[in-house]
Amino acid sequence: MDKIYLNELEFYGYHGVLPEENRLGQRFIVNLMIESDLREAGLKDDLAKTINYANVYEECKQIVEKDKYKLIEAVAEKIASVLLEKYTLIDRVTVKVVKPDPPIPGHYHSVAVEITREKV
């Protein structure tokens, strides 16, 4: 299966279980791996035969910046379900949601969840 990658999409959202996360917000980074048959798009050089990256970016932006969830797991699930439902050419999607600055003590780079969902 062919793959499209959208890497390090950065958004500002209000997700978290702590009240200050919902009030102050924070950065979230989304990485996507979209699996689809890209042969026809490549052979015909036709945008209509592939997934428009700009549209996928906007879908993710709407979910991360407009909705509010307690868990980044829920953010990832929403992104996956919307993309699979809206884009008939997508067979499988892997969504990684990174929370670079969670309000937890300690030294770390970030926390993240990654899920893979596919059409049945």
Region label for 119, one of left (φ > 0), alpha (ψ between -120 and 50) or beta (otherwise): beta
Phi, psi of 84 (to 5 degrees): -65, -35
Catalytically annotated residue among 3, 49, 61, 99: 99
Look up 96 and say whether it is catalytic. Answer: no
CB atoms within 10 A of CB 44: 11
Catalytic site positions: 99
